[in-house]
């Protein structure tokens, strides 16, 4: 079980790094030089959302319906990355350029959302429906990475790097101090949802080379990551009702596949032949802390509720000849 968890962490970490690469990459770039050595394609689709919210209320009297933070983030992508490369080769006689040649493609689809919410209420008397944090994040991807490579030669051969990554993070902190009663205040609620139906697909034929990178190489990954941190503290001189609660719901669904077909990879160096590295990873984390001090009764307060769901029907498939 530890090995499985370690593998998932590695896969998700790789996916998050892929997201960073995509967001930094910006617009699609492609270079094809038929006279010299290589075909190179870098393609990225990136979506990023970030929210920071701070609410502070200090009242000598009561605090009503105040200093609540609400955040809703939604991302949907149906765009694809598609590339076809043929005949990348290295005819340069200069041995110093052994790293040139072949077909190289980097394709990534990344979605990233982050939310930070902080609320603080200090009331001389009562606090009613105030200093609550509510966060909702949704990501949906149906885009695909599709690649066809034929005839790459030189030290590079055919190289394909494909990744689909989704990442969500939420940090919520609420604090309430009331001289009187506290009702419906200082609660944190977080909902995160990720759905991926996109695929990584690569077809490689005839990769060859004399260097360490010859042959056909495909690296494919699908990763989903969610994290939630919630802290709530309530101090009431009177009664505390339905306050200081943390609720977290996380859902991940993946039906995307990694598929690779490799034919005819060859090479005289250490990297010849056909190589495929494929991974699908899902990761969820939740940290909750709640404290309630009340001079009177405590009802429906100081509770932590966490619901996490993961569903994967995606497959890793490779054919090599």
Higher pLDDT, 290 or 94: 290
Residue in 12, 18, 51 with CA at minimum distance from that of residue 170: 51
Q: Is the pLDDT of residue 193 over 60?
A: yes
Q: pLDDT grade, residue 16 (50/70/90)? A: very low
- Average pLDDT for 141-169: 88
Q: Is the pLDDT of residue 251 over 50?
A: yes
Q: pLDDT grade, residue 211 (50/70/90)? A: low
- Average pLDDT for 132-154: 91
pLDDT recorded at residue 216: 87
pTM: 0.86
pLDDT recorded at residue 29: 39
Q: Is the pLDDT of residue 36 over 50?
A: no
Instruction: Please give the Cα distance from 101 to 158 (Å, whole number).
Output: 9
| 3 state DSSP class of 12 | helix
- What's the whole-number average pLDDT of the chain? 86
Q: Is the pLDDT of residue 65 over 60?
A: yes
- Average pLDDT for 100-121: 92
Instruction: Please give the Cα distance from 94 to 70 (Å, whole number).
Output: 61
- Average pLDDT for 214-242: 95
Q: How many residues does the chain have?
A: 321
- Whole-angstrom CA distances from 152 to 37, 104, 229, 266 are 10, 9, 48, 10
> What is the DSSP code string of 12-25?
HHHHHHHHHHHHHH
Q: Give Cβ neighbours of residue 89 (< 8 Å, ≥ 6 apart).
A: 37, 38, 101, 102, 151, 152, 153, 154
38-59 vs 29-32, strand pairing mode: antiparallel
- CA 275, distance to chain mean position in Å, is 26
Q: Is the pLDDT of residue 32 over 70?
A: no
pLDDT recorded at residue 213: 56
Contact criterion met (CB below 8 Å) for 213 and 272: no
């Amino acid at each position: 079980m530890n090995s499985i968890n370690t593998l998932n962490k590695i896969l998700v970490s790789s996916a998050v790094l892929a997201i960073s690469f995509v967001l930094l990459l910006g617009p699609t770039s492609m270079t094809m030089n038929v006279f010299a050595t290589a075909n190179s394609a870098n393609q990225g689709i990136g979506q990023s959302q970030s929210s920071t919210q701070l609410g502070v209320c200090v009242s000598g009297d009561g605090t009503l319906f105040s200093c609540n933070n609400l955040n809703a983030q939604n991302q949907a992508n149906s765009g694809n990355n598609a590339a076809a490369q043929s005949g990348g080769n290295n005819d340069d006689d200069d041995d110093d350029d052994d790293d040139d040649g072949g077909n190289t493609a980097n394709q990534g689809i990344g979605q990233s959302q982050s939310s930070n919410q902080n609320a603080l209420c200090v009331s001389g008397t009562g606090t009613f429906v105030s200093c609550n944090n509510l966060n909702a994040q949704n990501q949906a991807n149906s885009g695909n990475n599709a690649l066809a490579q034929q005839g790459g030669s030189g030290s590079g051969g055919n190289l394909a790097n494909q990744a689909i990554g989704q990442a969500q993070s939420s940090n919520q902190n609420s604090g309430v101090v009331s001289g009187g009663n506290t009702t419906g205040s200082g609660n944190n609620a977080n909902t995160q949802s990720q759905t991926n139906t996109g695929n990584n697909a690569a077809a490689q034929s005839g990769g060859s080379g004399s260097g360490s990178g010859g042959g056909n190489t495909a690296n494919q990954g699908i990763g989903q990551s969610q994290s939630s941190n919630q802290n709530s503290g309530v101090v009431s001189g009177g009664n505390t009702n339905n306050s200081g609660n943390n609720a977290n719901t996380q859902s991940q669904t993946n039906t995307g596949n990694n598929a690779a077909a490799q034919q005819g990879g060859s090479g005289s160096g250490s990297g010849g032949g056909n190589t495929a590295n494929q991974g699908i990873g899902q990761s969820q984390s939740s940290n909750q802390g709640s404290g309630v001090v009340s001079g009177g009764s405590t009802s429906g307060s100081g509770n932590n509720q966490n619901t996490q769901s993961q569903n994967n029907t995606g497959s890793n498939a490779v054919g090599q000849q």
